[in-house]
Amino acid sequence: MITRNYVVASLVGLAVVVAASSFQKPQDSNKVKVRLCDGETTTEVAASETKTQAGGQAIANKLMAAWLAKHPGRWKMPAQGNKAQQDPDAIIEKRHKIMPPYDNSALLGKGQSEGDTYGNFTKRDLMIWERETKKMVVHGARVFHNAKLLGSTISVSCDMCHPDASNTHPETYPKYQTQIGKAVLLRDMINWCLEHPVRAKPMAEDDPRLRAMEAYIYAQRKGKVLQYNRH
């Protein structure tokens, strides 16, 4: 369900991109012809129309609707209106009550010292930091709660013992684990859990799923004091 919505969302996104690059002048010079990425479906818009995001979305929707009429049942259009219902990341964020990230708005308008190449921090900077970080955290929550994505052979996922990433105590690493016989990091314990209670293959250290899970676990323990070696 989620995957399908995601594909539709990106398809609509693609239509907008393609639409933007396939503007053609039709015979009526007051109108612009826009073509969908299938190379066939087209629509016309007034040349004078102001180019806004909403306008672009409307064009994309119109093209997709025309395409769907030709290919009934191929895609399910996402429900309009409630944005949270369409965005799979927003669904995960709401469902698993992801901790809000640190608010950097105090930095707005400030930057490095005068004369540096990097100037003031803008709203756009803050938005990018938050959006990209959250994307990683949300993906971690997705993997954490999904036995299939974890590769469990017995349908066990992390949340079954650690709801809201409780009792994961990332703030206590590194620490010596007698049973493993060395000092370990959080990711080593995640991999231990994958092998034993979850009965999955351990993940490579640069596996995006492992990195995302680390991100989610740290995010949910926001505000905890770092106490490495705590047992």
* Residues contributing to the site for another protein (CB under 8 A): 1, 94-97, 145, 154-156, 159-164, 166-167, 169, 172, 179, 192-193, 196-197, 199, 231
Amino acid making up residue 6: Y
Q: How far is the CB of 21 from another protein (least distance, A)?
A: 36
CB under 8 A, 24+ apart: contacts of 178-181? none
Residue 46 or 161 having the CB closest to another protein: 161
Other beta carbons within 10 Å of 220: 22
Q: How far is the CB of 199 from another protein (least distance, A)?
A: 7
Residue 15 or 198 having the CB closest to another protein: 198
Q: How far is CA 185 from CA 13, 109, 168, 206, 219, in A?
A: 39, 37, 12, 14, 16
Residue 14 or 79 having the CB closest to another protein: 79
Residue 70 or 196 having the CB closest to another protein: 196
Asked if residues 205 and 151 have their Cβ atoms less than 8 Å apart, the reply is: no
Q: How far is the CB of 79 from another protein (least distance, A)?
A: 9
Q: How far is the CB of 193 from another protein (least distance, A)?
A: 7
Rounded-to-integer distance, Cα 34 and Cα 25, Å: 9
Residue 112 or 155 having the CB closest to another protein: 155
With b for 16 or more beta-carbon neighbours within 10 A and e for fewer, the 3-14 pattern comes to: eebeebeebbee
Residue 67 or 173 having the CB closest to another protein: 173
Amino acid making up residue 72: P
Say how many CA atoms lie within 13 Å of 25 toward its Cβ. 3
Q: How far is the CB of 216 from another protein (least distance, A)?
A: 12
Q: How far is the CB of 186 from another protein (least distance, A)?
A: 13
